[in-house]
Amino acid sequence: MSAMVQECRSCSTLLFPARLFCPFCGGDSFSLVAVGHGTLEETTTLSDGIVLATLSIDGGPRVIARLTGPGAEEGQIVPLTNDPNTTSGLHAYIPVHSTLNEDHS
């Protein structure tokens, strides 16, 4: 289970959401990199019961994801996924997948 973020091919910075240009070096060539987990920073529960979470990715950006499963606590390591059908245990779902400037070679 993992989610995908962009990695700038010029400076290796991890980026999310997808960008056309790297805000750090101006590069315009990216690879997709799988990230398996993030550290839970905070959560917000919407009126309909959906829980959104801010997670930090080691060496990378903060992401906002839908949190599912019981027992989430700040500072906890949470698995990330981009699969909307994942139902087992605590995980964070990142629905965004973009093909902006991706080079799969």
Is the Cβ–Cβ distance between 59 and 37 less than 8 Å?
A: no
Write the CA distances from 15 to 11, 34, 59, 87, 100, integer angstroms.
11, 12, 10, 26, 12
| pTM, full prediction | 0.78
Tell me the pLDDT tens digit for each residue of 37-90: 999 999 999 999 889 999 999 888 999 988 888 778 999 999 888 777 776 677
**In terms of pLDDT, which residue wins out, 86 or 101?**
86
In one letter, which amino acid is 1? M
Write the CA distances from 5 to 50, 72, 82, integer angstroms.
23, 23, 10
